[in-house]
Amino acid sequence: MLGYIFKRLLLALPTLLLVAVGVFLLIRLIPGDPALVLLGNDADAASLAGMRADLGLDRPLPVQFLTWVEHAVRGDLGRSIVSGEPVSTLILNHFAVTAVVVLVAVTLATLLAITAGLVAAWRQNSSLDLAVVGAATVVLALPSFWLGLVMLLLFGVKLGWLPFVGYVPFSESAAEAALFLVMPIATLTITESGVLTRMMRASSIDVLQLDYVTHARAKGLAESTVLTRHVFPNAFAPTLTLVGLTLGHLLGGVAVIETVFTLPGLGRLMVDSVLSRDYPVVQGCLLFTAVVYVVVNLVVDLCYPIFDPRVTAR
Amino acid sequence: MSLRLGIALVGALLLTIVVGLVWMPYDPIAIDLVHPLSPPELKHWFGTDEFGRDVLSRSMLGARISVLLALATVALAIILGTALGLLAGYLRGWTDRLLMTLTDTVLAFPGILLALGLIAVLGSSDSSIILALATAYTPSVVRVVRGTVLSIREREFIEASRSAGDSALETMLRHVLPNILPPIVVLATSLFGWALLSESALSFLGVGVPPPAPTWGNMLSDSRPYMDVAGWLSIVPGLCIAGTLLGVNLLGDALRDRLDPRRLS
Amino acid sequence: MSSLAVCGALLSTCLPFRAHAEDGQPPRAPILRTRLNSDIVSTDPGTRRDENTDGVLLHIVEGLVGSREDGSVGPMLASHWTISPDGRVYTFALRPEVLFHNGAPLTAAEVVWSFQRYLKPETRWRCLDVFGPHGIARVLSVKALDPHTVEVTLDRPAPMFLTTLARADCGATGILHPDSVRADGSWVAPIGTGPFQLGEWRHNQFVQLKRFARYAALPGPRDGNVGGKHALVDELRFLVIPDSSAARAALVRGSLDVIDNLYPSDLMGIRGRKDLLFQSVPVLDCYSLLMQIKDPELRDVRIRTAIALTLDAPALTKAITGGTGTANNSPIPAASPFYHPVEARLRAVDVARARRLLEAAGYDGRPIKLVTSRRDPQMFDIAVVIQAMAARAGIHVQIDTVDWPAHLARYTTGDYQLMVESFSPRLDPALSFGLFIGDKRQEPRKTWDTPRSRELLEEAMRTADPAMRQTVFDQLTLDFLNEVPAVVLFNSARLSVVRAAVTGHQNWMSGQVRLWGVGLR
């Protein structure tokens, strides 16, 4: 098992290296100079040159890259050009916000999907089923930021039930922080539940038609037992893959939702730092999300056997 | 029933686009600084935006632009992804390893960011958006295609083709490709939806199709400052996107049901 | 103790206001919350900066001189000064009652230290090049004559010297205590003399300023950056809220007290509310259409004139600023004391003449690219309107929207054909003209590069007499309208919205945020 994990992590190394090179080059290809952004549009050539030297941007590209990599493997991702803060601190703080929103939302969406999908499949073609499918399909078609904006308008502005600006970290006030997160989490939950519900329903329908389910029923088992102990574990596997993919993708930051609700999350950090050419932050973030992506994929693969004993992790 | 709804929605969309090619109530890019932000009424069914431009006409033109953009993205991603996925899945070995590493690398980039970066490098234009989004989506196509190819490459008719002396290329094109079409078609419908949403997300973040061309995405993003006084500006493009996606998804579902491999075999 | 007294005592501990202030001032509110649309970039004045940073830091630091409400230069830390007959030696007398935030008194030593630090290249002071080879003068020496007198010697007379010192984007040449830096010169935090001191800076969330209890205000009413700076609240909190709709909604809900700078489009929906107070103050900024004279398409003045003739500045201004801006074709802002009839003349729209000029110049309908950005929604909207207006004469304008860093890069290198640009407020017309006039070989960002314009600008900077300067500015304006290196469109107004409980908030034409003298009922 450990050997498998180790091997997988090792295999991910070339990918991580390619990501590092890719982001390093990509961000530098975008026209615009971080030194100029810092100094503003009145800067003279001398100050610009000085600032570029300060930021280490005047050294040849390979040197810059190797210096960055060398520090990165030791855990030092450098400092933000814009704010001077250590990149690793920035990333961890922003990731914490994103992680809370994403993990809670995906968990809720999964629970919702499991329940709705199972029940809809169990009562296939009934009006309940149609309602579930209809809702899931409509939800799939909604742009997430539009949903967020509408929620903001409704619950934040018009009704005033929920706060939506001035994010408060948990360390300061758990109650306030929780309130701020209600709408973003709700938006994300709704958005993600659509596709998960449909997947769960589809695989549940498939499993419900299988022989051993008929056998289980014939044996006289209660329907709830049939559903929870025979249908669910087998139907869940494809949904689990999807959950994993979704998590790996969302933990990279949900830039649009974070923008709508002005949450200091990882997605916004990445977009803002690209838009201000904050090279160290962009590079650090991408490296971080790539690692998260690899780890999440690995965890999902390892969880597979829990739900389907026929699948063994090789 | 859902199939009919899907056909109705997509039909309405196609009708709008076709009609828009020859006639629109007003010039979608003509500004009228005297009547900005007027609510829906007889003269302007969907009202006007902050420059006095007719929202209905812009939605019609936006339909054409948004849909074409999404179609081009999907086409590019599907062609590229299928080619690479076929190669990876059929040839295996080093080709497979190399392609999968590349695919994983691109997948490790958050899609929005990759698109943002590429567009920033290439400049804001229709083609750069298509290129950027296609790059972000190709890996998903590669994965699906590769997976399907892996599962069928061991089947009898493939063996038969190989023993008959067909080259790898011939086998791939003549025997493998037709059999992986169903999942590709299904994937294409999902991709279309994602592409449409992504274009609006990119516009939302400020890097979309440049003005004055309307897309539903940039109409939605431009409506933000006026949400509480000119709600129709946000509702109309939002409904257009949602309606189109709904129709496409429903059609995609119907397609999937008919192309279900279990039914085929 | 009677129950009434107990209740009273309990009640007073619940109230957010202190019942009795020690210094005889009216009771102060604990905290005033306002908004920044982006985080400040540093706490080192006049170095790494943008407008938001300047605004916040000018609550903390003060210079020898500062800007008055009408844009002129007035005393701040210097109570008065004398200029030698040859105009090269400035002798400043320091106010003896001023204290730094760490309690140390202000003396000439700290002034000399601050000046020397600004003049060191490593500090990256924004106004260093004003005292460089292409600037107004070189600083030969900064000396402490006695603990309360500082003497600055320049290599030649420079009437713009004090104006430069007072510039907000130079940090107002804020006088800092040496403890603001470490022994190796690296920056710690600003220890200044202003009515507020730096509290906590939580990156991308808020900047907290705390009242400096021992601040020695200049007597008299509030006046620009200098007079009557009384802190009426204990704490200022600048919340970083990039999204203006979120900020606006927060204000409505009561999570914010002041929004100092709104775009006209943000006013929609809250205009009529009774619980909010609105204010619109014209500022000395400038929104313009820059033209790259070196571009083959735009080299011909007829084409540039044709473009200018299609632009209906009043209609454009009204549409984009919702009537809060002032249409203006002159680089001198409408709110400036130097804005006279010559400057106030607007170019008349003449599409027919534009078409004739285009034909004479042989314009073949080729697309001309207009660069803009979305950082300022007004800049983006201007591009859309220009495109539509120019089309009326058959000019095909294509909009190229880029993000802010790319916009900056292209502005600085002159890499554009047409560009929408907004310039932040300049308090002196010479500085406003200086935005356009310059030697393109050294500063590619300047659009107006003719010997005559450069000469006239230098004359304006060399002269102290207002009447003579006005003549020069008039001539420059006329030349500007004839040669069309750019088209100035309008000056905007600073729009602010505050909750009705906020007292004393007043914007001024420098556009700089100013939260002393602002209280909460």
Burial of C411 (0-12, 13-18, 19+ CB in 10 A): buried
Name the residue among A31, A143, A271 with its Cβ closest to that of B205. A271
pLDDT digits (tens, 9 = 90+) for A284-297: 998 998 888 888 87
Query: Cis ω on the peptide bond leading into residue B212 (within 30° of 0)?
Result: yes
Parallel, antiparallel or unpaired: strands C276-282 and C493-499: antiparallel
Nearest Cα neighbor of C488 from C327, C354, C372 is C327
How deeply is C199 buried, as exposed, middle or buried, from its count of CB atoms within 10 A (0-12, 13-18, 19+)?
middle
- Contact flag B121-A30 (C-beta cutoff 8 Å): yes
Burial of C14 (0-12, 13-18, 19+ CB in 10 A): exposed
> Does residue C409 have a pLDDT over 70?
yes
What tens digit of pLDDT does each residue of B214-233 get?
888 888 888 877 777 777 88
Task: Check if the beta carbon of residue A242 is closer than 8 Å to that of residue A117.
Answer: no
With tokens 């003279």, the residue in question is: A44
Instruction: Tell me the shortest Cα–Cα distance from C388 to chain B, in angstroms.
Output: 7
Q: With 60 as the cut, is the pLDDT of residue C18 above it? A: no
Tell me which residues of chain A have a C-beta less than 8 Å from any C-beta of chain B.
12, 14-16, 18-19, 22-23, 26-27, 29-31, 133-134, 137-138, 140-146, 149-150, 153, 157, 249, 252-253, 255-256, 259, 267, 270-271, 274-275, 286, 289-290, 293-294
Chain C residues near residue B226 by CB distance under 8 angstroms:
265, 268-269
Nearest CA in chain C to A160: C253
Distance (Å, whole) CA A142 – CA B31: 30
Mean pLDDT confidence for C452-470:
93
Mean pLDDT of the B136-145 span: 89
* Top-confidence residue, C180 or C268: C180
Residue C196, strand partner residues:
C211
Least confident residue range of B10-19, C25-34, C225-234: C25-34
pLDDT digits (tens, 9 = 90+) for C465-496: 999 999 999 999 999 999 999 999 999 999 99
Residues of C (404-463) whose Cβ lies below 8 Å from B: 406
Band (C8; pLDDT cuts 50, 70, 90): very low
A26 contacts on B by Cβ (under 8 Å) = 117-118, 121
pLDDT score of B201 more than 60: yes
Closest-CA residue of A relative to C204 is A264
Name the residue of chain B whose CA is nearest to C314's CA: B33
Query: Looking at the partner chain, which of A19, A145, A290 has a beta carbon nearest the beta carbon of B204?
Result: A145
Choose among C107, C76, C126: nearest CA to C178: C107
Give me the residues paired with residue C451 across strands: none
CA distance A246 to A215: 35
Q: Hey, are the CB atoms on B124 and C383 less than 8 Å from each other?
A: no
Task: Give residue A310's pLDDT.
Answer: 55
User: CB of A262 within 8 Å of any CB in chain C?
Assistant: yes
The percent helix, strand, coil of chain A (3-state, each to 5) is 75, 0, 25
What value does the CA radius of gyration of chain A take, rounded to a whole number of Å?
A: 24
pLDDT above 50 for B186 = yes
Question: Rounded to the nearest 5°, which phi and psi values hold at C278?
Answer: -115, 150
Q: What's the confidence (pLDDT) of residue B72? A: 95
Please check the confidence at residue B98 and state whether its pLDDT lies above 50. yes
pLDDT-based confidence at residue C363 (cuts at 50, 70, 90): very high
Mode of pairing for the β-strands spanning C233-240 and C29-36? parallel
Which of A27, A150, A293 comes nearest B117 by C-beta? A27
- Mean pLDDT, all residues of chain A: 82
> For residue range A243-298, what is the model confidence (pLDDT) as tens digits?
887 887 787 768 888 887 878 889 888 888 888 889 999 999 989 988 888 888 78
Which has more confidence, A304 or A199?
A199
What percent of chain A has pLDDT above 70? 91
Q: Which residue of A has its CA nearest to C443?
A: A44
Between the two ends of chain C, the Cα-to-Cα distance in Å is: 31
Residue C409's nearest CA partner among A273, A83, A37, A48 is A37
* Tens digit of each residue's pLDDT (9 = 90 or more) over A117-176: 888 888 888 888 888 888 888 888 888 888 888 887 778 767 777 766 555 555 556 777
Q: What is the average per-residue pLDDT within B43-65? A: 90
Q: What span, in angstroms and rounded, lies between the C-alpha atoms of A96 and A86?
A: 16
| Cβ atoms within 10 Å, residue C140 | 13
Phi/psi at C368 (5° precision): -110, 130
ipTM for the assembly: 0.77
Between chain A and chain C, how many beta carbons pairs sit less than 8 Å apart?
A: 112
DSSP characters over C450-481: -HHHHHHHHHHHH---HHHHHHHHHHHHHHHH
Question: What pLDDT, in 10s, does the model give residues C252-261?
Answer: 878 899 998 8
Q: pLDDT (tens digit, 9 = 90+) per residue, A85-127? A: 899 999 998 998 899 999 999 999 999 999 998 888 888 888 8
In chain B, which among 84-103 make CB contacts under 8 A with chain A?
101-102
The pLDDT of residue A164: 60
Whole-number pLDDT of residue A150? 81
Q: In chain A, which residues have their Cβ closer than 8 Å to the Cβ of B107?
A: 293
The whole-angstrom distance between residue C492's C-alpha and the CA centroid of its chain comes to 12
Give dist(CA C475, CA C63) in Å, integer.
34
Q: Does C268 touch chain B if contact means CB atoms closer than 8 Å?
A: yes
Instruction: Closest CB to B211: pick one of C315, C401, C403.
Output: C401
Q: Which residue did the predictor score with more confidence, B73 or C245?
A: B73
B112-124 residue pLDDT tens? 888 888 888 888 7
Say yes or no to pLDDT of B257 above 90: no
